[in-house]
Amino acid sequence: MKERPLHIPDAPGSYQFFNQDSQAIYVGKARSLKNRVSSYFANPERLHERTRQMMENAVRVEWIQVNTELDALLLEHSLIKAHKPKYNVLLKDDKTYPYIALSFAQEWPRAYLTRAGKSKGVMLFGPFVQPRAVRESLELLQKTFPLRSCSDKKLERHTKEGRPCLLFHIARCCGPCIGAVDRPDYENYVEDTIAVLSGNTKEVANRAKAEMALASKRLDFERAAIWRDRIEDLKVLAEKQQMVGDQSEEFDAVGIFDRELVATVQIIQVRSGTIVGQIPYTVEKVEALNYSQLVAKVLEWAYDDQAKTPPKEILVPTKPENMEVLGEWLQKIKGSKVSIKVPMKGKKKSLIDLACKNAEDESNRQNLRRSSDHVARARAIEELADVLKLPKLPYRIECYDCSHLQGTNYVGSMVVFEDGLPKRSLYRRFKINTGHNDDYLAMREMLARRLKRIKEATEFGKTPDLIVLDGGKGQLGVGVELLKEMNLEKLIPIVSLAKKFEEVFVPGQKEGILIPRDRESLYLLERLRDEAHRFAITFHRELRQKNFKTSVLDGIPGLGDKRKAKLLKEMGGIGKVKEADLNDLKKLTWLPSATSEAIYSKIHNRNQE
């Protein structure tokens, strides 16, 4: 245990831990520096795994005292941006989605699609999840407000030649290269494009109607027809924009899909009551965070400068840590009040649910992209062999998991991956017969039944290159002992994966192996474990439903499905109901006396038979 520094002030501030190379490896903030910094010097066994790792690398801690919690937040944020510490959470912008960009760096602003991030002199709208849809929207915008989309070199070439490109001839560009448009008109196109992309389509449409009426009044029917066509195009654009609120509403809906070490974030942007974009992020959780702290970190990094000015209102799935301080900080960035709210019902709650669902879908898409990449799978297998020091590449991996409910309906699952992909035809499900709540015995029984079939002349009898157990040291000990009893310890390597910190335990090593978060090998192990867990849970649910349908409580007058479920929940399961006497049942005031007697009578008579 490292020695705690003396004379830590009991005041707000930011603190920094440094390694032996004087690099900041963690930056934090605290309402009380004394209480927060002191907590890092507790018994290492009581610290979160990531915190313990950080403390093992830290050689000194420094702090800066400030006047308020808001000042502490601002200071922490600036220090993290400056040092990018190894053990701090950072949001990563997903650059794979397209944006509509307006570039103001040139004499004639340009509208185009881009997948790059923000840059000087460029206004971005989006990102948009469906590239095809955003491309169609941009084409319609250019038809309505024909801004140039060509490169600067192309503009310069056509200006010198004195002749426009094809886009001018098909009315997708107003021809600034040949002087076919006045600067005030071009600036109006730019302003209207910004307004539409910001969700103010109705405002632009009303202005177009006024211009059409004015042209008609002046008997300029050709110009009136141009405005008429623009109004029709604006109607189509408005239909493409999904209305989710009143026109006066401006808010972001933050959705988060949280996993053990990685979270995906989707922020749906609503302006003038219309969805105008969705911003994706990935969070590498290198520090210990609960859900409330994670939401706070997402807000801190999603709106960290003027380029990401927060809206009037931010909707979140749960109340973030230090919400009041965060509100002050966001207000400082925006220059006006910013509300943070957790909607409980209505359209806004539905939008939060949609954002969270989109975040989950994006997490699944990322996983799918990686699993379909043959190079990534090959790298994962090679890394796994190297990290675990396996005698050969683990082309066939089997993973095992157990599931139960209060010791009942114990089941086990075996999933098989070959060449990094699931081989579902080889999955197996086991009914466990331990008779009581013991995860180790359940794992032992399942493994024993599987290993007895090794070397059979069937697909099921093939020898795996690696066995992975869902659990910690205890499950690994059971597996190692069983392999020795069956003289298979030299034939089949075995490891366990503990979900809490994603530690990999191997035989003969006291400490678990922490594979770096960005390694394909860890992703492969997580997929194996999650698939085994899903398969076990599915089987367990099927058994529970079947048992529920054929319960001893079936057919009792006055005991329908709802009362049956309530009875089992309050009594603690069917076993407790069977042990109860009549007085215990009659103490349940919501259960009619006649029904209580019928339950007791049926169970008692059945036990007598």
How far lies 246's CA from each of 158, 268, 312, in Å? 45, 16, 14
Q: What's residue 132's pLDDT?
A: 63
235 and 262 fall within a common domain: no
Whole-number Å distance between alpha carbons of 103 and 177: 16
305 and 334 fall within a common domain: yes
Residue 225 pairs in a beta bridge with none
520 and 600 fall within a common domain: no
User: Per DSSP, which regions of 393-460 are E strands?
Assistant: 396-405, 408-418, 421-422, 428-431
Domain that holds residue 390: 375-544
Whether residue 435 lies inside any domain: the answer is yes
- Look at residue 189 and give its three-state secondary structure: helix
> Total structural domains in the chain?
5
Structural domain ending residue among the three candidates 342, 367, 392: 367
pTM over 0.75: no
Residue partners of 447: CB distance under 8 A and separation at least 6:
400, 467, 478, 479, 482
347 and 474 fall within a common domain: no
How far lies 558's CA from each of 57, 519, 555, 594, in Å? 65, 58, 9, 8
pLDDT per position as a tens digit, 215-248: 777 787 777 777 677 677 666 655 555 555 566 6
322 and 428 fall within a common domain: no
Q: What are 296's two structure tokens?
A: 């706070």
Whether residue 2 lies inside any domain: the answer is no
384 and 526 fall within a common domain: yes
Find out whether 426 and 560 touch, Cβ atoms under 8 Å: no
412 and 535 fall within a common domain: yes
pLDDT per position as a tens digit, 164-217: 888 888 877 888 888 888 888 888 888 888 877 776 666 677 777 777 887 777
Structural domain ending residue among the three candidates 343, 367, 391: 367
Whether residue 59 lies inside any domain: the answer is yes
The model's confidence at residue 21, banded by pLDDT at 50, 70 and 90, is confident
Q: What's residue 417's pLDDT?
A: 94
What's the CA angle centered on 437, arms 436 and 441, to 5 degrees? 85
Whole-number Å distance between alpha carbons of 293 and 295: 5
Find out whether 189 and 174 touch, Cβ atoms under 8 Å: yes
pLDDT per position as a tens digit, 282-296: 887 766 678 898 899
Q: What are 82's two structure tokens?
A: 């400056």
Residue partners of 209: CB distance under 8 A and separation at least 6:
227, 231
328: pLDDT strictly greater than 70: yes
Looking at the chain, the whole-number percentage of residues with pLDDT higher than 90 is 15
Whether residue 520 lies inside any domain: the answer is yes
Structural domain ending residue among the three candidates 367, 383, 409: 367
pLDDT per position as a tens digit, 153-170: 888 888 888 888 888 888
Lowest mean pLDDT among 246-255, 437-446, 464-473, 579-588: 246-255
Q: What are 236's two structure tokens?
A: 């189509």
65 and 108 fall within a common domain: no
Whether residue 37 lies inside any domain: the answer is yes
